[in-house]
Structure 1
């Protein structure tokens, strides 16, 4: 399932080994371990035909922790380490994902000039459309994996996620949207 070496880019097995060496296979997460979750998110993004950059960001999306999952595998002050492993563009998406103040940003994400708040610094910025689409696709893959792994989470959060992702429809690929409709109530 995990195969990829686009144009001499990162090797999935090397990235997975690095995540495992940082303890991702030992961290409990809905559906098993954090490493299993990261691999499933990568696989979903691959299934949807996401660009390799987005797939690698999916594989590492929790590297710096997130607004919803504070456990970090790496230090955001040492971003060059992850960039050396998955490439600078993928690392920037991982950092954006980690830095997202969800409560503030999610309701505004689909607005062309909607502000994005960095939870680490409080700074506001306005990601370009392609970055918004990549971020939305990654977010949907992450959340759908969680909803598939835990029925209780789906019952509790599924309706709100469906409403949120419907508001992001213009940012999502057709395959991602089809997965939303198939997974959420």
Structure 2
């Protein structure tokens, strides 16, 4: 696996300073989860900006995870560390109204709905792919390290990823198939380890 981009080291320092290593999350702490998500995206050969977005995807909180280590008013601070493209992806992920956006994400219109305002806009194909890949990496990391989550949410997650499959890389789909069907030997990320 290639070495993380230098900005990843700076982002980890920032996330640690903001307390992400003290927030509980399946498989350990929020920081451990974020590092694993970036590593999974790297394994899938995502470009550096998407890897950095994976590392910081919960910095502003998300619809499913409310603790925010960095408020939206501090977007410029995160952009200085990970770059404007990666920060824009973190922002996109944080504001996503999943129930309203995911069902139509594969449609050419790319309808995206913001969760706080209800504002809608169209996303380019590249942005829809980024959002799908980031979603897959986030959810699959949790499924890999938390058997209870996998048992409880696995069917819902598989249905979502089947819907998003046209937007996912083949490596992301291979991991989804392996983790959610129990064929861990086919998972390119290898066996899950809660301590990772």
TM-score range, shorter chain: over 0.9
1:36 paired with 2:32, answer yes
The whole-number CA distance in structure 2 between the counterparts of 1:12 and 1:39 is: 9
Alpha-carbon RMSD across the aligned residues, in angstroms, is 1.2
In structure 2, list runs of 5 or more residues that go unmatched: 182-196
Question: After the TM superposition, which parts of structure 1 deviate over 6 Å for at least 4 consecutive aligned residues?
Answer: none
Deviation of 1:110 after TM superposition, in Å, equals: 1.1
TM-score w.r.t. length of structure 2? 0.89
In structure 1, list runs of 5 or more residues that go unmatched: none
Partner of 1:19 in structure 2? 15
Superposed CA offset, 1:28-87 (max 9, x none): 000000000000000000000001010000000000000000000111122111111100
Superposed CA offset, 1:146-180 (max 9, x none): 00111111011111111111111110000000001
* SS at 1:54 equivalent: helix
Which among 77, 80, 95 is matched to residue 81 of structure 1? 77
TM-score w.r.t. length of structure 1? 0.94
Aligned length: 181
The whole-number CA distance in structure 1 between the counterparts of 2:3 and 2:56 is: 15
The whole-number CA distance in structure 2 between the counterparts of 1:122 and 1:148 is: 32
1:52 paired with 2:56, answer no
The correspondence of residues 21-170 of structure 1 with structure 2, limited to 5 A, is 21-170=17-166
The whole-number CA distance in structure 1 between the counterparts of 2:132 and 2:25 is: 21
